[in-house]
Amino acid sequence: MLDLPHVRSALSEHYDLTPSPEVAEAMADTYARMARVVTPPDWAIYAPYVKAINALKKERNAVILGHNYMTPEIFHGVSDYVGDSLQIAMKAQEVDAEVIVQAGVHFMAETTKILCPEKTVLMPDMEAGCSLAESITAGGIDEMRAKYPGAPVVTYVNTTAEVKAASDICCTSSNALQIVNAMESDTVIMTPDQFLAQNVANQSHKNVVYWPGSCIVHEQYTAKDLRDFREWNPGTRLIAHPECPPDVVEEADFSGSTSGIIKYVTDEKPQKAMLITECSMASNIADELPEVDFVGPCNMCPYMKKISLEKILWVLHTGENEVLVDPEVGAKARASVQAMIDMSRKLGL
């Protein structure tokens, strides 16, 4: 675990991180992308970190991959590439950098390492896990194979390298349905997200059997919440991530991956929108879409929220928290991830 008081005092010996309205003003263009959701005093606190991180990235030949659930100062301030799990995994393969800092959760950093074994992948906080990734081990995949002999295993990328290695192909929320449909067998095993699997099953002709994992953020929403919300605030467009339970997805106007949600809101520009997903999603697109009123509650992912500017600066400065994957496991996991990427490209996704 990072010793934050130590991190703070060590960083202050090398960088001027005192809140500064002058530094904030000098980066007014960056601030403009989050001005609707970040107050000027907060930006004066973040700006010296953003300045230090962006300078250090150049020195270290590093890039930062930011998931859509990062807070705005990370998403807009220091991320070189942003997107959903699939997009940032694919970007990792293209970037010409020695070091990749994964502003996201641990399984995303592992996916990057699996795809780019020659690059140094750093995690700002090793404890940024995921309830889905923690719900299954490679032994769970063996159990499912024993129960459904011959059925292919489609595994959500929200899993460890060992679990990916034990699977036939990976999927993300943006391609799960198409990948399941493309399997030759009538029965398809999906792991580890029971709700993603049920949502896929509801749209597929396949017999989808699944592992009982779930996301602690999305499982909290209920269909009744959505109905109550519609009644309280009529005319709001409800947009849900497919990790939500199926009756929630049914009640919503649209369901898609994090980038699918952004695309939908950007294209449709509803007057009022409630994003049934992690809190930062709405914050990150609020300034680009001033005509949309983002309303309603949201749930925070405690794992994603472990990532901060301070921790990003620390790992870039020290090179600590390198993510390593056993080469043999990595090669097998890579085959599953690459099979997904190849199939996504083939299907034009």
Residues engaged in binding ligand 13P (CB under 6 A): 68, 84-85, 158, 172-173, 215, 241, 243, 257-258
131 near ligand SF4 (CB under 6 A): yes
Tell which one of 132, 309, 315, 323 touches ligand SF4 (CB under 6 A). Answer: 132
131 binds, among ligand SF4, ligand 13P, none (CB under 5 to 8 A by kind): ligand SF4
* CA distance readout (Å), 323 to 18, 44, 114, 255: 30, 32, 10, 32
* CA distance readout (Å), 110 to 31, 91, 120, 123: 31, 14, 11, 9
* CA distance readout (Å), 325 to 63, 95, 140, 282: 20, 20, 20, 33
Tell which one of 17, 100, 122, 215 touches ligand SF4 (CB under 6 A). Answer: 215
* CA distance readout (Å), 43 to 64, 69, 75, 165, 288: 20, 19, 13, 42, 18
Q: How far is the CB of 217 from ligand SF4 (least distance, A)?
A: 4
Q: Determine how β-strand 187-191 pairs with β-strand 153-156.
A: parallel
Interatomic CA distance for residues 263 and 257, integer angstroms:
10
Position 213: which residue type?
G
Query: Which residue's CB is nearer to ligand 13P, number 68 or number 159?
Result: 68
Interatomic CA distance for residues 8 and 19, integer angstroms:
14
| Gyration radius of the chain over CA positions | 20
Binding segment for ligand SF4 (CB under 6 A), chosen from 144-152, 198-206, 212-220, 307-315, is: 212-220
Q: Which two tokens stand for residue 281?
A: 């999603």
Query: Which residue's CB is nearer to ligand 13P, number 173 or number 336?
Result: 173
DSSP-based three-state secondary structure for 208: strand
Q: How far is the CB of 229 from ligand 13P (least distance, A)?
A: 20
Taking residues 155 to 194 in sequence order and writing x for each that binds ligand SF4 by CB under 6 A, - otherwise, the string is ---x------------------------------------
Q: Which two tokens stand for residue 173?
A: 């929320």
Q: How far is the CB of 172 from ligand SF4 (least distance, A)?
A: 11
Taking residues 303 to 342 in sequence order and writing x for each that binds ligand SF4 by CB under 6 A, - otherwise, the string is xx--------------------------------------
172 binds, among ligand 13P, ligand SF4, none (CB under 5 to 8 A by kind): ligand 13P
Residues 221/244, Cβ–Cβ less than 8 Å: yes
Q: How far is the CB of 26 from ligand 13P (least distance, A)?
A: 32
How many residues at the interface with ligand SF4, by CB under 6 A? 13
Interatomic CA distance for residues 316 and 121, integer angstroms:
10
303 binds, among ligand SF4, ligand 13P, none (CB under 5 to 8 A by kind): ligand SF4
274 near ligand SF4 (CB under 6 A): no
278 near ligand SF4 (CB under 6 A): yes
Q: What are the strands, taking DSSP E only, across 251-341?
A: 254-255, 272-276, 293-294
Q: How far is the CB of 185 from ligand 13P (least distance, A)?
A: 25
Contact residues: ligand SF4, CB under 6 A = 105, 130-132, 158, 215-217, 243, 278, 301, 303-304
